[in-house]
């Protein structure tokens, strides 16, 4: 099969197109013929070597964290899926590799594709949908009438999280450029702050939840918009001791994460708010809860560009440029 391979870590590295064997199918996995995949900032950061502490992949390996496609083979323990099913998924860590013609994914991480959207639209959903779900539903337990600040509203996670938060009945504030204000308002944002002109910390206060996806400077400011008892959930770090325990990191790595998050945790403690780092996990059952929201129209995929498979490196560069509105998709088949 054709695939795009990362031979070595580095910011200037391009992926190499190559013919490789089909992935080995384990007993509890389905083999998916990839129709479409999507590029996430996570792919860029992995390529750059920024996540080696959390995800020590050994090169060479195939990148890619989103897939939509058709089941072509099932392992002997698989019960929920059959050959011919149209599915979508975020493969588990250490089983990624959707920049390829085929990928093997654990049955528990797969869901039937929403019926009302294309393969390209379905491929745009898993990673950002699960990130927003795990942050707002699982960790923050966001409720009707609460206020949530979602940073970078026009990005992949932002466009999904705004819609999910509105569906849950929350008041949503977000940051966006002047050119993207219309987009985030159409998605349901109630308050839009032009980050190029205004300081969000001067405009927002008494919020219940912050979904943080920016740098450390923005993190420090973000704590100040929360009310006592509020929650800040960060998808961009720093990782905290709880996360280190969850992934059963070696003792040395646990101490590194403890040190990295010390400032954030101390600031949170002082302001009587919660701080948690989220590194989303694959979950077919959560995708099955997201599917009806897409089929009912409560959440719609937001796609900026679709690249052909042979232009995978161009898609990666476009995501890295930070100009994408919503998701960048690669049409494989």
Closest CA to 68 of 53, 90, 48, 94: 90
Give the Cα separation of 203 and 190 in Å (integer): 13
Q: What is the pTM of this model?
A: 0.97
SS3 287: helix
285 falls within a domain? no
54 and 27 in one domain? Answer: yes
80 falls within a domain? yes
List, for residues 171-227, the tens digit of each pLDDT value.
999 999 999 999 999 999 999 999 999 999 999 999 999 999 999 999 999 999 999
93 and 9 in one domain? Answer: yes
239 falls within a domain? yes
Give the Cα separation of 223 and 201 in Å (integer): 9
List the structure tokens of 103: 């990928």
Predicted pLDDT of residue 153: 98
- For residue 147, give the CATH number of its domain: 3.40.50.720
> CB-based burial of residue 316 (10 Å sphere; 0-12 exposed, 13-18 middle, 19+ buried)?
buried
Q: How much is the average pLDDT of 62-85?
A: 98
53 pLDDT more than 90: no
Give the Cα separation of 230 and 124 in Å (integer): 30
Question: Which of 261, 277, 293 corresponds to the end of one domain?
Answer: 277
118: confidence class by pLDDT, cuts 50, 70, 90: very high
273 and 326 in one domain? Answer: no
135 and 203 in one domain? Answer: yes
CA atoms within 13 A on the CB side of 314: 9
Predicted pLDDT of residue 117: 98
| Residue 115: CB atoms within 10 Å | 10
254 and 316 in one domain? Answer: no
58 pLDDT more than 90: yes
Domains: count for the chain: 2
Cβ proximity of 233 and 215 under 8 Å: no
How far from chain centre, in Å, is Cα 321? 17
135 and 114 in one domain? Answer: no
289 falls within a domain? no
66 and 90 in one domain? Answer: yes
322 and 198 in one domain? Answer: no
List, for residues 140-178, the tens digit of each pLDDT value.
999 999 999 999 999 999 999 999 999 999 999 999 999
Give the Cα separation of 234 and 268 in Å (integer): 12
- Sheet with strand 61-62: strands edge to edge: 16-19, 2-6, 61-62
- For residue 55, give the CATH number of its domain: 3.90.180.10
132 and 273 in one domain? Answer: yes
282 falls within a domain? no
Cβ proximity of 145 and 170 under 8 Å: yes
Predicted pLDDT of residue 73: 98
78 and 208 in one domain? Answer: no
| Residue 138: CB atoms within 10 Å | 16
257 and 117 in one domain? Answer: no
Domain boundaries, position 111 = 2-125+301-331
290 falls within a domain? no
296 falls within a domain? no
12: confidence class by pLDDT, cuts 50, 70, 90: confident
294 falls within a domain? no
Cβ proximity of 107 and 81 under 8 Å: yes
31 and 100 in one domain? Answer: yes
List, for residues 252-302, the tens digit of each pLDDT value.
999 999 999 999 999 999 999 999 999 999 999 999 999 999 999 999 999
Give the Cα separation of 205 and 134 in Å (integer): 24
């Amino acid at each position: 099969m054709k695939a795009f391979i990362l031979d070595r870590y580095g910011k200037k590295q391009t992926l190499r197109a190559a013919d490789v064997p089909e992935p080995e199918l384990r007993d509890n996995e389905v083999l998916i013929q990839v129709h479409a995949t999507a590029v996430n900032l996570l792919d860029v950061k992995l390529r750059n070597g920024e996540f080696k502490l959390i995800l020590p992949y050994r090169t060479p390996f195939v990148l890619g964290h989103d897939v939509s496609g058709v089941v072509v083979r099932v392992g002997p323990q698989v019960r929920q899926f059959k050959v011919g099913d149209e599915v979508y998924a975020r493969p588990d860590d250490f089983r990624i590799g959707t920049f390829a013609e085929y990928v093997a994914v654990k049955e528990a991480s797969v869901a039937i594709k929403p019926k009302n959207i294309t393969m390209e639209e379905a491929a745009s959903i898993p990673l950002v949908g699960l990130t927003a779900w795990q942050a707002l539903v699982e960790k923050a337990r966001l409720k009707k009438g609460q206020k949530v600040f979602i940073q970078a509203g026009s990005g992949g996670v932002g466009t999904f999280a705004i819609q999910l938060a509105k569906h849950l009945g929350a008041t949503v504030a977000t940051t966006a450029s002047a050119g993207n204000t219309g987009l985030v308002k159409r998605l349901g944002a109630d308050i839009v702050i032009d980050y190029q002109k205004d300081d969000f910390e001067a405009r927002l206060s008494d919020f219940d939840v912050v979904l943080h996806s920016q740098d450390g400077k923005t993190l420090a400011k973000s704590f100040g918009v929360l009310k006592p008892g509020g929650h800040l959930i960060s998808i961009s770090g720093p990782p905290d001791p709880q996360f280190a325990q969850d992934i059963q990191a070696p003792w040395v790595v646990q101490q590194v994460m403890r040190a990295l998050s010390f400032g954030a945790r101390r600031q949170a403690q002082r302001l009587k708010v919660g701080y948690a780092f989220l590194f989303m996990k694959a979950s077919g059952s959560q995708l099955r809860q997201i599917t009806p929201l897409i089929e009912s129209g409560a959440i719609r995929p937001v796609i900026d560009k679709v690249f052909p498979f042979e232009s995978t490196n161009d898609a990666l560069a476009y995501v890295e440029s930070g100009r994408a509105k919503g998701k960048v998709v690669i049409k494989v088949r």
